[in-house]
Amino acid sequence: MTDNSKGQQISLEAKDPFELRINHGQHVSETEVRATLASGDMGFVHSFTTGSTVDGPGVRVVAWLTGCQFRCVYCHNPDTWRMTNGVPVTVDRAKAELRKYRHGLKTMKGGFTVSGGEPLMQDRFVVKLFTAARAMGIHTALDSNGYLGGRLTDEDLETIDLVLLDIKAWDPERHRRVTGMDVDPVLNFARRLAALKKPVWLRYVLVTGLTDDPEDIAQIANFATSLGNVQRADVLPFHQLGAFKWKQLGIEYELRDAAPPSKETVERTCAQFRTAGLKAY
């Protein structure tokens, strides 16, 4: 199968995930998509980026996959929502892409992170990528909203060194308001990772007036601390770098006038995580 309907191969490398990418896999039939998801022999990839220092320890190569079942009102990459916006890529091509960086990643004590979108929409592909990365001696990290964590067996989880778990809100109604989905599966996945003693970095996107409620944050901070496997909390201040994507995709963007949170609010939120006993950045 070729990358697009014209039979051309599309480069997987992007400067960053803010490149708008759409319709690259629209020629793939639904039957093929289903077969692909079941086997994991092919996946849909927005892009590969290099040089990240925020998506796990050291310097990372990040594979941004397409497909997400959340509809976060602050999403920076709504072009990753539809799986067939991504480039259809065989697992062998993705492995070859990763292989290019393996020596550098080891030297820089970095690794390979799979993000999205929501990577677990393509769980079999993700496990194949991580298995390959491990065979190359590369550290692996999964960046996930956690909702589909139940798709991973304990054996699958053994291919993952670190989970970057996004908890979007504590209060169920707020979670639904922010993401359109329930919070319980996310928290259940967090508990399961704790039972397995899997290292986790918690990620929390901070938006003024939406996710800056101190009580909600305290609940998340206390929950994360109680788990015992959360190594740090990363507070991610909302920004508008992805705003142009909403516009170009013609999706109503309710945060179009929202400003990034103030330095004080970011510091206060980090302080809440620290008070609960976590390192926070």
DSSP string, 148-164: TGGGS-HHHHTT-SEEE
Q: Do the bridges between strand 111-115 and strand 60-65 make them parallel or antiparallel, or are there none, so unpaired?
A: parallel
- Taking the C-alpha atoms of residue 119 and residue 108, their distance in angstroms, rounded to an integer, is 25
Residue 174: what residue type?
A: R
Q: Which stretch binds ligand SF4 (CB under 6 A): 10-18, 73-81, 84-92, 259-267?
A: 73-81
Half-sphere exposure of 113 (CA within 13 A, CB side): 27
Q: What's the closest the beta carbon of residue 80 comes to ligand SF4, in angstroms?
A: 5
Candidates 6-14, 47-55, 69-77, 254-262: pick the segment binding ligand SF4 (CB under 6 A).
69-77
User: Both tokens of residue 72?
Assistant: 């976060």
Contact flag: residue 70 with ligand SF4 (CB under 6 A): yes
**72 counts as binding ligand SF4 under rule CB under 6 A:** yes
Site size with ligand SF4, rule: CB under 6 A: 11
Q: Under the criterion CB under 6 A, does residue 71 sit at the interface with ligand SF4? A: yes
- The answer to whether 75 contacts ligand SF4 (rule: CB under 6 A) is yes
Angle at 109 between CA 274 and CA 273, to 5 degrees: 10
Contacting ligand SF4 (CB under 6 A), which of 117, 119, 149, 261?
Answer: 117
Residue closest to 28 by CA, chosen among 88, 76, 71: 88
Question: Binding segment for ligand SF4 among 40-48, 75-83, 85-93, 154-162 (CB under 6 A)?
Answer: 75-83
Q: Which residues bind ligand SF4 (CB under 6 A)?
A: 68, 70-72, 75, 77, 80, 116-118, 145
